Structure 1
Amino acid sequence: MSTATAQPQRKENLGPLMRLLVLIENAGNKLPHPFWLFLSLALIVMVISSLCAAAGLSAVNPATNEAVNAVNLFSMESLRTIVSGVVTNYMEFPALGLVLIVLFGVAVAERSGLIPGLMRAALQNVSPKWVTAVVALVGTASSIASDAAYMVVIPLGGIAFKAVGRNPVIGCAVAYASVAGGYSAAPFVNSLDAILGGISTSAAHIVDGEYTVTPVANLYFNFISMFVVSAAIVLVTELLLNKRGEQLELDPAGDDEAQEDEEHAKLTAKLTPLEKRGMVIAAITIVLCFAIVFVLCLPANSFLRDEEGGFGPKSGLMAGIAAIIGFGFFIVGIVYGVVVKEIRSPNDIPEMIIKGLVPFVPVMLLFFAASQFLALFKMSNLGQILAIVGADFFKGANTPPFVILLGALLITSLGALLITSGSGLWTLMAPVLVPMLMLLGIAPELTQAVYRIGDSVTNIISPMSPYFVMILGFIQRYKRDAGIGTLLSLTIPLSVVMWVFWAILFFGWWLTGIPMGPGAHATYTVGG
């Protein structure tokens, strides 16, 4: 990657938008690390709980018609519970186990070369007519590979555009927008589904202790979103960004460096006959896995059904979906790895899992702090009281659900500019947003879906994103004098149109009442 940096712009040359982004960057830089942020918030919750308890703050839960009182977390009984529950809070944090189980399988599929190979295959030999659509679709689908998608798809986007005679800078921008902005638009369940589902479940328990948001709660919506988001990217690129690309002069030296770069050669390498054979056999394995699960679901008394014989949240299929998905990735990854000789002995598999989990160690650390914050927030009853008061306010004002959901979308979009961790922001918002909307008849699955839209589309314009600088480095391979202004001129139109397209899809979907995913609810009935 080129180490060249853009020349600093003089302050008087900054436009209003650039000044706003500079303010956002400066404000975000002052925030502590998410680990300390959540621990600090946990302490703040304890202080507020004591003040609210002393003031006699309470509300009536419409689901039970019982009074909910603020709990003083500094009382002897509360402190005893807090100290004894630290380990339990972490171990029972719903997202923790779900994510680890899914990642065990994804790590094998990624480290064996299957997922990177699929990306390379999709972006090679693309015709000029379809290059934008293919890059956009591959980017939105690449969330299965988690953060590794950034390192593979973005440079491949530039290479694919350059190969068909188009500006590679635009290719990098398109790839970046599809990976980061379309992170929640995916063809299949990924680790983010497990993380958000776990956090949503914890938040829903504030109102309903039996409610479960599974990792597949938004599966249908996410799948259709992949095509809608891709269509938005194609529209902006073909009508606007291509013209912008004609104005951007490339740096020949930077282009030569990219051609000579070893990583470039690796990314452009065509699939070998062995890799092609591995993908064919992996595809057959996927079909067999689906067939086995389907056959196991057929008996009326199948262990994958619930007690009523259905496939509700408590059925073996839905409750164990994380394990089923993780095992599926595990098997397919092993099959591919054995065929291409990346796996030569059983000992190679644990090593792949270990290496695949290393990038998620920071998430595990964040989960510890987040689990303590959520436990204290729930214990204090503040979340439940806020949700009840908020719901009563919106009911009294006769606020249409459309306005409430739109407000949630806007708040999320703005919050994501400062907190780019999807799980971190949802940990802050879910304990209030989910129960409040449940009391208004809106199911947690819908709240989670609207959150995912706002959290995704502003990622590509947030200077707080760790990948914001990385994409600039990829662009500077082709244009050394490219700066933040260059990047924003490409990503802002993409972000805005993606937001509009995705919002239209969400509200249209919501009006139909179609569930967001298997076993997901379209509405929630208090006390139902």
Structure 2
Amino acid sequence: MAETAAPAEQSRGFLGVIERAGNRLPDPVFLFFYLILALVAISVLASLIGLDAVHPAEVDPETGAPRVIAAQSLLSAENIRKLWVEMPATFTHFHPLGYVLVVMLGAGVAERAGLFGTAMRAGLRNAPKKLLTPLVVFVGMMGNHAADAGYVVLIPLSGIIFHAAGRHPIAGIAAGFAGVSGGFSANLIPGQLDALLFGITEASVETVFGDYTANIAGNWYFIAGMTFIFLPVIWFVNDRIIEPRLGTWDPQYADEKLATPQEDRPLTEGESKGLRWAGLAVLAVCAAWAIFVFGPGTPLIDQEAAPEGRLLPFYQSLVAFFFIMFLAAGWAYGKAAGKIANHRDLVKMLTGSMEDMAYYLVLAFAIAHFVAMFAWSNLGLILAVGGADFLGSSGLPAWALLAAIILVSSFINLFVGSASAKWALLGPVLVPMLMLLGITPEMATAAYRVGDSATNIITPLMTFFPLILIFAQRWDRNFGLGSLAATMLPFSIGLMIAGVAMTIGWVVFDLPLGPGADVFMEPPTAVDPTGPAESL
């Protein structure tokens, strides 16, 4: 087994403090269970002291006075009845659940058939030596759609390819890690993460403002911008700072059994054919959706709606689009490459993709009840109104507020690695609060994503951090936890600076975040968690 740094060395300094504090946190499932208990206690106390807020835009229909929203105890008879009677509906109606499961059905087939791993190998194998870093980073960012495949396939493969090109293998691992995890939200097209986060955003809006439909493509232009801004930052840091610091690789410190793995072999004829078939399948799905938008009857365009609402069916169909696209591409690849013999193999892959989601289902059960109970207590609306009043009176511009959200998200990310768990915790407060200040849910989600990405690569609490350490130790058995954190810290700082600057620029120039998604909005004029929000 590869040697690691001594425990005493691993526990020193600021990273050691973070590691010790984070290790004391329970599993995210139980973390939300404890948060629910705390929420119950807070709701009881808030109800007893008469905590309330004056609605900024709504009046009582009987008196004509501004409507007062009072905190509700979660131990009231009505809320206890809701908890036990509506428990199945609370879980099954949790919006992220449907979004994620549908997209993962298709993505699971593409991953299990080997499409994602083969596509990564094809994109990197013949890369020019000087362009290795940007190609590794770009493939890593695009590989976010492959879920765990980016970590398991691309990162060790990057070390192999750098070594084959005469460069330091750990620099390749660092570049791959920075692309996959530091650029976690950067991509040219929306995917699983968008479905997950915007499902939570939708639920966060509904805790305060009633019915709302999230636009899964609401950050499309923003994440594409992240791709083009983050890529040169990671390229510069890796080639100008990290690789010179690593020096010349010394093979005497490498694993004695290190050999060229099978992942570095050329593509087989079947794999090459599979990639061609997968590409044709993607084009076919895109063509089908174009027909649905522009063809006879325009099924995905509501011609009778107001201009701003005509594309709503198209946005709502994007979850199905990505499901069909990943499913068709995975099936086409698998058939051509010999990985899928018949429909039974396909069903097994579909079933296997749902098996991989078992933990998420348990976590979603806990998150769904936390979000629902947060809405029942009225604390979300009270915090949103109070927070909006405070921030509005502070005179801070929108860009400063969003920059602060990025910093808070990145700090919390050091302790809670799950992107969905953090957004489920922050979203119900941040999204309604910013909406009352005229900032859209899409912009709030975009700011959160920047903060969530930047510190992924420096926290030992991130799920794959130990795995990356093992990959690095194959090339240098003395490469310890502190070595990995120190290697990735310059990437994290660079990504944070670039992400904050990009967000500020996006707000200042009021650029669209995606199709039909802007930075600013009219603050809601009718707020009722049990009914539709008129201005939404």
**TM bracket (short chain):** over 0.9
Residue 313 of structure 1: how far off its partner (Å)? 8.4
Residue 198 of structure 1: how far off its partner (Å)? 0.7
* Match of residue 2 from structure 2: 4
* Match of residue 24 from structure 1: 18
* Match of residue 424 from structure 1: 421
Which is worse superposed, 403-412 or 354-363? 354-363
SS of structure 2 residue aligned to 1:466: coil
* Match of residue 193 from structure 1: 194
* Match of residue 252 from structure 2: 252
SS of structure 1 residue aligned to 2:130: coil
Give 2:359's match in structure 1, choosing from 357, 362, 383: 362
2-structure distance, mates of 1:442, 1:469: 38
After superposition, what is the alpha-carbon deviation per residue over 1:330-380, rounded to whole angstroms, capped at 9, x for unaligned?
112111111112111101111112222333221111100000000000100
AA of the residue aligned to 1:19: G
SS of structure 2 residue aligned to 1:5: coil
Give 1:44's match in structure 2, choosing from 18, 38, 41: 38
* Match of residue 29 from structure 2: 35
2-structure distance, mates of 1:442, 1:258: 53
1:300 and 1:309 in contact (8 A); partners too: no
Residue 265 of structure 1: how far off its partner (Å)? 2.4
SS of structure 2 residue aligned to 1:64: strand
* Match of residue 468 from structure 1: 465
* Match of residue 336 from structure 1: 333
CA RMSD, Structure 1 to Structure 2 (Å): 1.8
* Match of residue 271 from structure 1: 267
AA of the residue aligned to 2:6: P
2-structure distance, mates of 1:226, 1:267: 26
After superposition, what is the alpha-carbon deviation per residue over 1:278-320, rounded to whole angstroms, capped at 9, x for unaligned?
2112212212221221122115842211342757487321112
Please state if 1:452 is matched with 2:449. yes
1-structure distance, mates of 2:428, 2:492: 27
Q: Percent identity?
A: 35
Residue 63 of structure 1: how far off its partner (Å)? 3.9
2-structure distance, mates of 1:294, 1:316: 13
AA of the residue aligned to 2:504: F
1:301 and 1:309 in contact (8 A); partners too: no
Residue 461 of structure 1: how far off its partner (Å)? 0.3
2-structure distance, mates of 1:407, 1:198: 23
1:311 and 1:318 in contact (8 A); partners too: no
SS of structure 2 residue aligned to 1:61: strand
Residue 255 of structure 1: how far off its partner (Å)? 5.0
SS of structure 1 residue aligned to 2:464: helix
SS of structure 1 residue aligned to 2:343: coil
* Match of residue 511 from structure 1: 508
1-structure distance, mates of 2:168, 2:360: 36
* Match of residue 528 from structure 2: none
Which is worse superposed, 444-453 or 235-244? 235-244
After superposition, what is the alpha-carbon deviation per residue over 1:104-149, rounded to whole angstroms, capped at 9, x for unaligned?
1111111111111100111102211100111111111110101221
SS of structure 1 residue aligned to 2:207: coil
2:403 and 2:503 in contact (8 A); partners too: no
SS of structure 2 residue aligned to 1:129: helix
* Match of residue 375 from structure 1: 372
SS of structure 2 residue aligned to 1:206: helix
AA of the residue aligned to 1:432: V
* Match of residue 478 from structure 2: 481
* Match of residue 172 from structure 1: 173
2:2 and 2:473 in contact (8 A); partners too: yes
Structure 2: runs of 5 or more not aligned: 60-66, 526-534
1:116 to 1:10, Cα distance in 2 relative to 1, 3 A? closer
* Match of residue 304 from structure 1: 300
Aligned residues: 517
Return the TM-score normalized by structure 2.
0.93
Please state if 1:295 is matched with 2:296. no
1:10 to 1:45, Cα distance in 2 relative to 1, 3 A? closer
AA of the residue aligned to 2:351: I
Return the TM-score normalized by structure 1.
0.94
Q: Superposition pairs for residues 6-405 of structure 1, below 5 Å?
A: 6-8=4-6, 10=8, 18-65=12-59, 66-246=67-247, 249-252=249-252, 254=254, 256-259=256-259, 264-299=260-295, 301-306=297-302, 307-308=304-305, 312=309, 315-405=312-402
1-structure distance, mates of 2:227, 2:180: 11
1:137 and 1:227 in contact (8 A); partners too: no
Please state if 1:440 is matched with 2:434. no
After superposition, what is the alpha-carbon deviation per residue over 1:446-469, rounded to whole angstroms, capped at 9, x for unaligned?
110110111111010011112111
